[in-house]
Amino acid sequence: MSEDRNEELQPERPRRQYDTGRDWVPDYMRRCGVCGVEEDVLVVTEWTRGLCRRCLPRAVENRVLSDIRRRQMIAPRDKVGVAVSGGKDSATLLAVLANLRRRKPFTLAAVHVDMGLGDFSHQSRQAVENLCRRYAIRLIVEPVEEYGVRAEPTGPWPVCAVCGGLRRAIFPRVARRENFDVFATGHTLEDMLQTMLKQLMSGKDFCPKPVLPATPYDPKKIKPLYFVPERVTAAYADICGLEYAADTCPHFPPDTHRFKDVFEHLERLAPMAKIQVLTNLGRLMKAPPVAERPYACEDCGEASRRPLCPLCMLRRIQAGENLQVPGEGL
């Protein structure tokens, strides 16, 4: 199906008038840094430039492609899996990588974990299916119910911890089954900064990196949006008419991302501060250690840090077994 035909199938969205709220930026950032127009420009202080609606998608793709090449995230003919939740960030990542296939040949597949959370999960899955259909990308859907587990509070873990544990357990299994060379996630600049701050406050000296090498358990992991602000992914999704789940997960705690406000304030005081903090902390802090998995899970045989892997431990607890749970996370 041609690109023109794909665009015709997308519902028309109202144009968003960008209100940057950033009166303190220099005048040159109020013009598009590519074509020079001064109307409908998104001020991206993190990149010290403005971008109009027409130029922003290509600028984002160029930035991601530059990071992919500089950090050797993807090699020619790599088989790349992408975690796609149905939100704007992962939708933007999938669309960007789909467009970059013409400039850097690799194969692409999307992986969606269906958490079974009613209307929200249905909306998310539908958005992912439509997005993959638009870009002709193979979609792999993994319903958690097929693993005998449910996304609900379990033992000492709230539902968000259970969801995170399920994704971390399921994605590597899919990656090995599908023989992915690389697995990509849609973490953005603010996601990384928030994680770094939490690590520092916990007294830990390691932080997430844009590239993690393959291990005996996982393929290479990459974060192509590592230096892309969330406002930019939202603008990219809006301009390109990407379908994504507009609703927030009903279990999402409203204060989960409160640390992001710290970096928004810092960016207001010093443009480019986010990028500078991320870059310099990334140099000073170590990559996360590779956790050894000395056990073969008693139930499924998966390599695990404990006698039971997280999936099987959750399944047993949710079935009513009285297990001694570890003091650490899933």
pLDDT reading at 3 higher than 60 = no
Is 327 part of a structural domain of the chain? no
Q: What is the mean pLDDT of residues 290-317?
A: 92
Q: Tell me if 56 sits within 8 A of 42, measured CB to CB.
A: yes
Q: Span 206-217, mean pLDDT? A: 92
Residue 5 lies inside a defined structural domain of this protein: no
Contact 96, 184 (CB under 8 A): no
131 & 270 share domain? yes
Q: Per-residue pLDDT tens for 143-169? A: 999 999 999 999 889 999 999 999 999
Residue type, 99: N
DSSP structure string for 90-144: HHHHHHHHHHHTTTS--EEEEEEEE---HHHHHHHHHHHHHHHHHHT-EEEEEEG
Query: What are the C-alpha distances in Å from 92 to residues 192, 311, 320?
Result: 17, 29, 40
148 vs 126: CA distance, rounded Å = 23
Q: 313 and 229 in one domain? A: no
Burial of 251 (0-12, 13-18, 19+ CB in 10 A): middle
Which residues neighbour 106 within 8 Å (Cβ) at sequence distance 6 or greater?
74, 75, 76, 77, 78, 79, 80
**Token code pair at residue 100:** 């970059």
Q: Which residues contact 320 (CB under 8 A, 6 or more apart)?
A: none
Residues 227, 120 within the same domain: yes
- Does 228 map to a domain? yes
Q: Do 274 and 233 fall within a single domain?
A: yes
pLDDT, the chain, mean: 90
Asked if 241 and 223 sit in the same domain, the reply is yes
Q: What are phi and psi of 18, to 5 degrees?
A: -75, 125
Residue 11 banded pLDDT, cuts 50, 70, 90: very low
211-212 and 138-143 strand pairing: unpaired
23: tokens are 């009166």
Query: How confident is the model over 13-55, as pLDDT tens digits?
Result: 544 444 444 556 777 888 999 999 999 999 999 999 999 999 9
- Indicate whether 39 belongs to any domain: no
Tell me, yes or no, whether 127 and 219 share the same domain: yes
Q: What pLDDT score does 181 carry?
A: 98
Output the domain CATH number for residue 281: 3.40.50.620
60 within some domain: yes
SS3 183: strand
pLDDT of residue 246: 78
* Position 19 in a domain: no
Between 260 and 107, the more confident residue is 107
- Mean pLDDT confidence for 285-305: 91
Report the pLDDT value the prediction gives residue 43, as an integer from 0 to 100. Answer: 93
Contact between residue 128 and residue 86 where contact means Cβ atoms under 8 Å apart: yes
Q: Based on the domain organization, do 269 and 229 belong to the same domain?
A: yes
* Mean pLDDT calculated for residue range 112-118: 96
Residues 134 and 177 grouped into a single domain: yes
Torsion angle (degrees, nearest 10) of CA 230, 103, 212, 121: 50
Q: Considering only CA atoms, give the Rg of the chain.
A: 21
Cα–Cα distance, 101 to 284 (Å, whole number)? 33
Q: Is 33 exposed, middle or buried (0-12, 13-18, 19+ CB in 10 A)?
A: middle
- Please say whether the beta carbons of 102 and 131 come within 8 A: no
What pLDDT does 84 receive?
98
What pLDDT was estimated at residue 67? 97
> What domain range includes position 316?
295-322
Question: Does residue 189 sit in the same domain as residue 214?
Answer: yes
Cβ neighbours for 126, distance < 8 A, ≥ 6 positions apart: none
First to last CA, the chain: 43
CB burial of residue 103 (10 Å; 0-12, 13-18, 19+): exposed
Is 76 a member of any domain? Answer: yes
64 and 116 in a common domain: yes
Look up residue 107 and give its two tokens.
Answer: 């194969």
Contact 275, 282 (CB under 8 A): no
| 169 shares a domain with 95 | yes
Q: Are residue 127 and residue 217 in the same domain, yes or no?
A: yes
**Tally of domains within the chain:** 2
Beta bridge partners of 220: 182
Whether 281 is in a domain gets the answer yes
What pLDDT sits at residue 20?
46
